[in-house]
Amino acid sequence: MPFLGQDWRSPGWSWIKTEDGWKRCDSCSQELRSENGQYTINHSIILNNGEEEIFSNECEYAAKKRKKEHFGNDTAAHSFYREKWIYVHKESTKERHGYCTLGEAFNRLDFSSAIQDIRRFTYVVKLLQLIAKSQLTSLSGVAQKNYFSILDKIVQKVLDDHQNPRLIKDLLQDLSSTLGILVRGVGKSVLVGNINIWICRLETVLNWQQQLQNLQMTKQVNSGLTLSDLPLHMLNNILYRFSDGWDIVTLGQVTPTLYMLSEDRRLWKKLCQYHFAEKQFCRHLILSEKGHIEWKLMYFTLQKYYPTKEQYGDTLHFCRHCSILFWKDSGHPCTAADPDSCFTPVSPQHFIDLFKF
Amino acid sequence: MPSIRLQGSDGEIFEVDVELAKQSVTIKAMLEDLVMDDEGDDDPIPLTNVNVAILKKVTQWCTHHKDDPPPPEDDENKEKQTDDITVWDQEFLKVGQRTLFELILAANYLDIEGLLNVTCKTVASMIKEKTEEIHKTFTVESDFTEEEEAQMRKEKLV
């Protein structure tokens, strides 16, 4: 079977054996479509500067019975259609159940629909940020295209709904500084792909940063209730839900009432207790003249020394039994006797570490 | 299924199933009082702070959530979580800001913990990760004078 792929690191096309011989996966889907409309196709469309390419190893067939007819009970069939999980290989042997690098995980886990879900958005952004800081050089060509296309969708989303701009600005800042270093400093020997593509990408990122900078929040014309019309305890309720001190400070700058609420010592005490441990307080204790603890100052000081707590609405999970990474609502073909006991949530850093050999 | 009648702030009467209405602690308490008073069952319960349009939205939420288990006791960890909103709730709350704030006030008045939680989380997630322009998002006229604003900007460099 000739190995034909877009670049030598990707798994190549997928092939299906039909009566007329071996056919590539996407052409096969045409025939199936004409036979009966019993399935859906979900292509991961990877944009390459306006040119659309549909990669055949990402077709998805909803009619599972049909898959069984074609492939029997062969578990290798999983590589033909797109399920949102990936096997993670732990030991370093020659035998692997499929291609499992960081880039491939990135392709298969369908982050482009994950960003539309508020529970997963911050998680995916954090993943992208960690990849931007240290893993760009390990991505295959396909994974790189996928990465930038997801980033493009995120930027468009932020420009549309004006939510989470600060988070994305941080991500783009990390990305542009890493790209700058790689393109100018290290260059061809380390980067996969033509250096000019990377220069184009750097320009795109700088362009996005400019667009976000220019993002003018349009003033909402609202004749009815506004935030400041809410009673104090409601505003407090909202303030107590923030896990980032900067959000409290920012909100406090809106009206004098909010300012007063945002300066409340108990609010900052709760925030410190949420993120940091008692031991860490003791090392950086800041007292006011009257002997009270200055919780707000302590929060910003502690933040410089220690990592803050991360909490996400929904994360990827890892099944220890099958060694598979998956989203909880997509599931995976688990062979364990007691599936629930094998799952652990995967933090973004843990995700990156899973693929370090 | 027995239903009760609620009278909104605009005078309109709205009928709703009793079990659903009991998700509101306020209404539940009112019902218990009414039973004790044994007055005419036909009188609708007056809800002076909520108009019928919002009541309908609240009823829609309560109908979808009627089989929810009671929320756990104050969980320290969950307090700071703003993005664990189910997809149904996310869609339900894709309404204008005015409706969103009215829902918060209604949930507060009617004392429906689940709805209050999810609406406040939504507002919090709209606010976070933004910059100073946040007041534009919420059409709040900044009450600060220029000197005060400059002072706050300086302090922000903490």
- If asked whether residues A264 and A336 sit together in one domain, one would say no
Please, where are the H alpha helices in B2-145?
18-21, 25-37, 52-64, 87-92, 97-110, 113-127, 134-137
Does the pLDDT at position A278 exceed 80? yes
Q: How confident is the model at residue B81 (pLDDT cuts 50, 70, 90)?
A: confident
**Do the beta carbons of residue A6 and residue A141 sit within 8 Å?**
yes
Alpha-carbon distance of B158 to B153, in angstroms, equals: 10
Ranking A2-16, A147-161, A299-313, B84-98 by mean pLDDT, the lowest is: A2-16
- If asked whether residues A203 and A107 sit together in one domain, one would say yes
Number of domains present in the structure of chain A: 3
Identify whether A185 is part of a domain: yes
Any CB–CB contact under 8 A between A231 and chain B?
yes
Q: pTM (2 decimals)?
A: 0.68
Any CB–CB contact under 8 A between B94 and chain A?
no
pLDDT tens profile A76-127: 333 444 577 777 776 655 555 556 777 778 778 888 888 888 888 889 999 9
- If asked whether residues A125 and A201 sit together in one domain, one would say yes
- If asked whether residues A168 and A248 sit together in one domain, one would say no
Domain that holds residue A349: 316-354
Identify whether A81 is part of a domain: no
- C-beta atoms of B129 and A240 within 8 A: no
Residues of A within 8 A of B152 (CB-CB) are 253, 259
Q: Which residue has the higher pLDDT, B4 or A207?
A: A207
Considering only CB atoms, B104 lies closest to which of A163, A166, A234, namely A234
pLDDT average, residue stretch B72-94: 78
pLDDT at B96: 81
- If asked whether residues A273 and A293 sit together in one domain, one would say yes
- Sheet order of strands, B45-46 included: B13-17, B3-7, B45-46
Identify whether A42 is part of a domain: no
Alpha-carbon distance of A237 to A267, in angstroms, equals: 10
- If asked whether residues A301 and A320 sit together in one domain, one would say no
What is the residue-averaged pLDDT of chain A? Answer: 74
- If asked whether residues A252 and A344 sit together in one domain, one would say no
- C-beta atoms of A165 and B129 within 8 A: yes
- C-beta atoms of A228 and B140 within 8 A: yes
Identify whether A154 is part of a domain: yes
pLDDT at A80: 40
What is the residue-averaged pLDDT of chain B? Answer: 77
pLDDT average, residue stretch A275-301: 83
- If asked whether residues A113 and A202 sit together in one domain, one would say yes
- C-beta atoms of A164 and B129 within 8 A: yes
Q: Find residues 167-206 of chain A whose CB sits inside 8 Å of chain B.
A: 167
Residue with tokens 């400059």: B150
ipTM of the modeled complex: 0.78
- If asked whether residues A207 and A122 sit together in one domain, one would say yes
Q: How confident is the model at residue A8 (pLDDT cuts 50, 70, 90)?
A: low
pLDDT tens profile A289-304: 787 888 888 888 888 8
Identify whether A227 is part of a domain: no
